[in-house]
């Protein structure tokens, strides 16, 4: 059992290490909303609104580019002003992303990963393995990955303690969870441990939360998802959204624009992660986000 309990943590603070310096987030596309810096709630973590996602089909879409092609794409995104990169232990891309980011100063970008909350695993050893794979001394954000049951808060207590311990060592700066399904999402409001909530979002419920964690289309659940986004925002959590292109189902440009507009204007998310496989997709996502925030 970690000596750093959640109760002890909540009585004190681990402010050190959570603040990212604005000077280290230089904007290379002045005036573009997608590459502007936002603060994720009370965590103090600062990121660009648009994140480069590497988990399309668990990362196999990005991995198919090969290391050279993938690195070129990451460098293009960096040159366009994106400074927020997302991966997960369960994806096939963490090592590729680590390699692609090597040329850039570590303090110039933010790296988010997600840990699988397996039973019987030492969290600190897992985090050490993840850091080695990603070739990084620390993660800016670490999420509990794919929480999909109503009892996930109790079931992941050991992992929550593990992240708090890593925060005390400054190998993790900010903590949160990604959820799938309304039973899991309903546990986010009122959760004092969470600093960041990763919530699926688009305008018509494609591959969004429903009565179960099944990856279905749930248009009637969209109002409840939006309600919970607003609740956790009021409580000081930062909100990062995914599925803004419906897991690739939005083949019409108008749908991709509508999803981005809905996420920011209706739900009020802080930032969004989008999986890319081409420079054209990066350019379009930047344009769509700029338009949504105009």
In this predicted structure, what is the pLDDT of residue 54? Answer: 97
Percent of the chain with pLDDT over 90: 86
Does the pLDDT at position 6 exceed 50?
Answer: no
18, pLDDT greater than 90: no
Alpha carbon distance 124, 275 (integer Å): 28
Within-domain flag for 147:
yes
pLDDT of residue 30: 40
SS3 209: coil
| 75 neighbors 100 (Cβ within 8 angstroms) | yes
Residue 246: predicted pLDDT: 84
Q: Is residue 1 part of a domain?
A: no
Length of the chain: 294
Distances (CA, A) of 93 to 7, 8, 98, 144, 239: 35, 35, 9, 17, 23
Alpha-carbon distance of 259 to 100, in angstroms, equals 29
CA nearest to 266, candidates 226, 210, 235: 226
Q: How many domains does the chain have?
A: 1
Q: What is the mean pLDDT of residues 150-159?
A: 98
For residue 228, being part of any structural domain is answered with: yes
Per residue in 278-291, pLDDT (tens digit) is: 999 999 999 999 99
Q: Which residue do the tokens 């399309």 mark?
A: 56
Range of weakest confidence among 21-30, 63-72, 203-212, 255-264: 21-30
CB 238 within 8 A of CB 40: yes
Note whether residue 120 is domain-resident: yes
- Read off the pLDDT of each residue in 171-178 and give the average, rounded to a whole number: 98
Paired tokens of 59: 């990362």
- Examine residue 195 and state whether it is found in any structural domain, yes or no: yes
Residue with token string 């996930």: 152
What per-residue confidence (pLDDT) applies to 247? 83
Q: What is the CATH number of the domain that holds 58?
A: 3.20.20.100
Residue 118 has pLDDT above 60, yes or no: yes
- Output the average pLDDT for the chain: 91
Q: Is residue 69 part of a domain?
A: yes
**19 lies in a domain?**
yes
CA distance 37 to 196: 16
Q: Is residue 160's pLDDT more than 60?
A: yes
- Closest-CA residue to 167 (of 52, 44, 53): 44
- Residue 182's pLDDT is 98
Average pLDDT over residues 54-60: 94
Q: Could you report the per-residue pLDDT of 185-239, keeping only the tens digit for each?
A: 999 999 999 999 999 999 999 999 999 998 899 999 999 999 999 999 999 999 9
- Report residue 248's pLDDT band, with 50, 70 and 90 as the boundaries: confident
Contact 249, 207 (CB under 8 A): yes
pLDDT of residue 32: 67
Confidence band for 23, pLDDT divided at 50, 70 and 90:
very low
Task: Give the domain range for residue 195.
Answer: 6-292
Largest CA distance in the chain: 52
Angle value at C-alpha 143, between 282 and 148, nearest 5 degrees = 100
């Amino acid at each position: 059992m970690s000596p750093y309990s959640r109760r002890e943590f909540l009585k004190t603070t681990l402010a050190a290490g959570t603040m990212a310096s604005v000077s280290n987030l230089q904007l290379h596309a002045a005036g573009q909303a997608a590459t502007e810096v936002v603060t994720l709630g009370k965590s103090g973590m600062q990121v660009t609104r648009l994140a480069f996602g590497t988990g399309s089909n668990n990362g196999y879409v990005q991995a198919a580019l090969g290391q050279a092609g993938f690195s070129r794409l990451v460098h293009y995104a960096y040159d366009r002003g994106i400074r927020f990169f997302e991966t997960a232990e369960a994806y096939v891309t963490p090592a590729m992303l680590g390699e692609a980011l090597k040329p850039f100063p570590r303090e110039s970008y933010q790296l988010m990963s997600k840990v699988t909350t397996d039973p019987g695993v030492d969290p600190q050893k897992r985090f050490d393995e993840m850091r080695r794979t990603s070739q990084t001394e620390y993660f800016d954000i670490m999420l509990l990955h794919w929480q999909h049951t109503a009892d996930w808060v109790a079931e992941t207590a050991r992992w929550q303690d593990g992240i708090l311990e890593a925060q005390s060592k400054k190998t993790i700066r900010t903590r949160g969870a990604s959820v799938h399904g309304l039973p899991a999402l309903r546990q986010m409001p009122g959760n004092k441990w969470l600093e960041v909530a990763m919530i699926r979002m688009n305008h018509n419920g494609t591959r969004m939360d429903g009565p179960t964690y099944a990856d279905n289309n749930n248009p009637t659940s969209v109002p409840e998802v939006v309600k919970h986004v607003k609740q956790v925002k009021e409580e000081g959590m930062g909100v990062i959204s995914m599925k803004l292109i419906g897991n690739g189902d939005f083949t019409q440009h108008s749908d991709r624009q509508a999803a981005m507009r809905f996420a920011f204007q209706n739900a009020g998310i802080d930032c969004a992660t989008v999986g890319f496989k081409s420079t054209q997709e990066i350019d379009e996502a930047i344009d769509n986000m700029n338009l949504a925030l105009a």
